[in-house]
Amino acid sequence: VQLQASGGGLVHPGGSLRLSCAFSGFTSDYSIVGWFRQAPGKEREGVSISRRGDGRTIYADSVKGRFTMSRDNAKSMLYLQMNDLRSEDTAVYYCAARKNRLILSALFDAAQYDTWGQGTQVTVSS
């Protein structure tokens, strides 16, 4: 199964972007799907993760209230709506998936995911 991320670009502070991630298989095959990001010189960090078992979607504190993740299982798509973008949101964004379950405390650990998209660049600058 491959993931294909798209939708990145250059946007002014306060602007919006919607990222998309296409699954070559079915999103429902995965227990956990989500988005990570990596800024230059920094480690990859979790942005938003959805866990199928309990239907929960969690967000990093830095994006709560601004980012919304959604999924369309019928189309095998995952989305990340990003509003009120800030310069600190500048990063390469990756979609990720994992078939086996994870405990809540491990959901933002990038090392736990074995399926990744290729990344899409988001640059927030005036």
Which is higher by pLDDT, 100 or 84? Answer: 84
Q: 3-class SS at 87?
A: helix
For the stretch 23-44, pLDDT in tens is 987 877 888 999 999 999 999 9
Q: Place 1 in a pLDDT band, splitting at 50, 70 and 90.
A: low
Provide the token pair at 113. Answer: 């995911």
Task: Evaluate whether 30 touches 98 at the Cβ level (below 8 Å).
Answer: yes
C-alpha span between 72 and 90 (Å, rounded): 26
Percent share of the chain, pLDDT over 70: 99
C-alpha span between 72 and 66 (Å, rounded): 20
